[in-house]
Amino acid sequence: MDKILEGLVSSSHPLPLKRVIVRRVVESAETPLSQAQCRAMFALSTRLVLQGPDPFQRQVGRQVLEAYGRYHRDEFEAFFNRGLVLGLLQRGYGELSNRDPAILDYIQAGLRLIMSCPSVLELFELLQVEALRLVCERPAPPLCARLCQLLGDFPQCLPRGRKLSLAFCQQLVRSIAHFQSQGTREAELRLYVSQVTQVSGLLRSVWKAEPDTLLPSLQELFAIISAADTSFEPSVALASLVQHIPLQMITVLIRSLTTDPNVKDASMTQALCRMIDWLSWPLAQHVETWVIALLKGLAAVQKFTILIDVTLLKIELVFNRLWFPLVRPGALAVLSHMLLSFQHSPEAFHLIVPHVVSLVHSFKRDGLPSSTAFLMQLTELIHCMMYHYSGFPELYEPILEAIKDMPKPTEEKIKLILNQSAWTSQSSSLPSCLSRLSGKSETGKTGLINLGNTCYMNSVIQALFMATDFRRHVLSLNLNGCNSLMRKLQHLFAFLAHTQREAYAPRLFFEASRPPWFTPRSQQDCSEYLRFLLDRLHEEERTLKALSSLKASENIMNEESQTQEADHKSQVFAPCIESEERTLIEKMFGGKLRTTICCLNCKSMSQKEEAFTDLSLAFCPPTSLENVGPKCMESSEVKDDCMVQTNTLANSPAGETFLSNLEVNGGCDAIVNEGPIKDFSTEPNSENTTNAELDKIQDNSDMSQRLVDKNTLSVTDLLNYFLAPEILSGDNKYYCEKCASLQNAEKTMQIIEEPEYLILTLLRFSYDPKCHIRRKILDNVSLPLVLELPVKRTTSPLAVDPGSWSAGVEICDIGENLAKKLKPSGADEVTCPQLVPYTLSSVVVHSGVSSESGHYYSYARNVTGSGPSALCHQSTALSLVSPQDKLLTEESPCTVVENELDMEMPREWFLFNDSRVTFTSFQSVQKITSRFPKDTAYVLFYKKQNSTCGFNTNSANGLWVNGDPPLQKDLMDAITKDNKLYLQEQELSARTQALQAASASCSFRPNGFDDNDPPGSCGPTGGGGGGGFSTVGRLVF
């Protein structure tokens, strides 16, 4: 019969005929056969099953083996013995390898046939040993899955005894770690996943039957994923085991793992990274639960270094998993926890920001209910992050546009989410973080690395650097051998201009320029820092000049030395060859104010001139908007938010006095009233008279009604208010020396000398006595691109001593004559207002709600004195003039000039945000507060037009009218050396990345450390698609 069957299956007869004959052969199995015939049939069927060249022959072999084995069980028991099974498992069958799954198929079929025979027990013992041997040999997924299927059907074949059973589980875990998919097509991936599921299912059965094997198996699992061997990367198939670990064990296991002193940080980092990789495994449950639990466990024991490293390494990989519907829920849960807990710096969030818009658009295109639900969760997460890390409009604008149609969580909900998620607000490991090695951005500008809440310094330095004339003169100074602050500023400017790095760390300058009362690594006021810096530079230069002049007067005995000491200027500041008595800071930022107080009783007048480097402009309280006349100080109490401060240079040249802060009652927008003052000399009751006069003055309110009606204040409005007349009355009366008593008086201020760079500080911070903090005024202020400043120079001999308050000017008692002399009009004017054009150079923005927190960044552009010369020469331009003329307004031809200027140079504006520098536009500057309510303009730099700053730009170092001057040799050498070091770092980084090819998803760490005080910082491919298994083909294993 065996010969007939063998000839039949190998013949060329039609297949239907063969099947008919095979059916008859199978049916004949019921007939008695000799032992030899049975053995021959078993040998033939075994050969057909294991070596059949086609599916038909293998099928025939299985049918014949099963039929004859069932009816001739004793003969089959003798055939299917220990020797046959051991030979198959160790040597294979003919040309068939012993590692072929067909071997196990045959053995499993044979076991079914002799299940009731006594000899099966011997085979079970044999298979217990062979199964352990097989898993130790790291079988491929098909063979391992077939073995697990056999062991699942015949659990008697599982290794027995605690030792063998434990060894089997550990080796099976290691075998899974070596699994790799052999194909990329969907059918192949499905088969691979099913094979892995088969293996993990067997382990679950073993753990359930023998609980003692679970913990050692998990220890083996951790040893595998925490290994530092870069030559072997464990398979993500290990994720299939997580779903079989009881969730009740999470607390105990995580606590044991995070507190074990034998587990090194490097091992924990490696293990956590690989667990996060498991998010790529489809259908695995609870992976995100264990990952989040481990993250929380590490935070509980304050292992922040691991958390920071893992987050920065894996955040992009986790985000990319959102593209795949099968693993999206787990990936979103982990992503949310990682971002919301990483609250000390925006580094992690900013790594995924470039990919958010494309993912949002993909979700919207899907239109599936599941995609919409995930999009809502993602949108809520993004809003929380942008709220926490405000101050990056260049990054967030596209995202806001993409999610504008999605619901936005309330501020209360955002705060609640953030408060519940934080694991650290500051980490001592931050200084060890290295900055990213990459070249300059397309802007060609260099950023400044945040050294820990130093954005207040970075924003100011970038604004000063972009003050082109100031930068050029600083770079041109010959400061060799000088260790001054100006020398350090020159060094910083040189690196900002010439380094190849994307961002520079200004550590030396920070330590040298930080005010002593500024606490390191805490948020500070950038305006206060700017004033301190300019004053230090000014005083330092004056001291150096004085020392140099003293030496010169002792050593040089000629005619020049006998004129003035000021002629012997320090050669340290070589470019300062004109106006020797003035320092570089005075020449660039110094201006003069004249304050006049006129007694309304005797009409005597006193004046005082004061130098300033910036004007601080106050906001008006809402209740003051009803009165638009001159400011009236009827109380000595002046609120902090209504304070106008004028910063001054101390110890200025003789003949000048300076005020440290000039108080003006904060209030409404006002006009500069230059009309005649009524004579009150015949009125005994000056108090009542003043009130009557105030009523008349307020009749001019129609001229300034436009300022009150506007919803948005402008800088010009605040300047109008700054220069408006002020009535001193009530508790704030003026002591008149001539009257020898307190009298009502009118106080006016005039700019009599304009600076090259006009610095305006908007007083946005007011003290809250209840909370003991400085709250922020979030009012939007319109910033004119072009501004004309009225400068009133005295042309009449009626001049007072500028050195101090005058003792009272003797004027005729006739009020009309006094009025004519003090405030004449027309041809009788003694002050000639000259409109000096300024153009906006830089804007320092504060993002946040109080002065003690938030983030600073700056907008700036290159503006020189030789800039557009046709700016605002019209008489109707932006100006501060008397009520007889026009008010300071933006409705002038200058508005057209602004628009044209900005359209002609759309990429002239830059946004400096610590280490990041990007192109922006003037429209972005204007709209910043309306787009981001917590981001408000704070310090403004305006550059005077058509000015050469009194310096000869053809310096000894060469012609540099249209560019920066050549650097001193020592500066150039230092920059060259650092650039070489930078190239070496780049090369080393490239070599390191090549050696870490296995970590393809590892991303660099961006440079800079943003502010860490709340609430702000200071610090894909493919699409979605339907759910189910049809998307497994898009997964990357």
Q: Supply the residues annotated as catalytic.
A: 455, 855
Print the SS3 string covering 393-423. HHHHHHHHHHCCCCCCCCHHHHHHHHHHHCC
State the angle between helix axes of 347-366 and 328-341 in degrees (0 to 180), rounded to the nearest 10: 150
**Encoded amino acid at 77, one letter:** E
- Determine the Cα–Cα distance for residues 65 and 57; give it in Å rounded to an integer: 12
Report phi then psi at 1012, rounded to 5. Answer: -115, 10
CA dist list (Å): 94 to 90, 127, 140, 658: 12, 21, 21, 106
Tokens of 767: 């003290």
For residue 968, the tally of other CB atoms under 10 A from its CB is 19
Tokens of 573: 């500041």
**Encoded amino acid at 402, one letter:** A
Q: Which of 802, 785, 784, 781 is nearest to 793 (CA)?
A: 802
Beta-carbon contacts of residue 102 (< 8 Å; ≥ 6 apart): 49, 50, 96
Cβ-contact 676, 605 below 8 angstroms? no
- Alpha-helical regions (H) of 556-713: 584-589, 686-697, 705-709
Tokens of 857: 């960044």
Beta-carbon contacts of residue 356 (< 8 Å; ≥ 6 apart): 378, 382, 399, 402
- Tokens 């005295």 belong to residue: 794
- Alpha-helical regions (H) of 72-119: 73-79, 82-91, 101-113
Beta-carbon contacts of residue 449 (< 8 Å; ≥ 6 apart): 435, 503, 504, 505, 506, 914, 915, 1007, 1008, 1009
- Determine the Cα–Cα distance for residues 525 and 527; give it in Å rounded to an integer: 5
The CA-to-CA distance between both ends of the chain, in Å, stands at 51
- Alpha-helical regions (H) of 698-809: 705-709, 715-722
SS3 content of the chain, % helix, strand, coil (to 5): 50, 15, 35
**Encoded amino acid at 87, one letter:** G
- Determine the Cα–Cα distance for residues 1004 and 740; give it in Å rounded to an integer: 74
Q: 367-375: which pairs have CB atoms within 8 A and are 24 or more residues apart? A: 368/1024, 368/1026, 370/325, 370/1027, 371/325, 371/1024, 374/322, 374/328, 374/329, 374/332, 375/406
**Partners of 940 in the β-ladder:** 760, 843
CA dist list (Å): 430 to 23, 303, 993, 1020: 78, 13, 22, 29
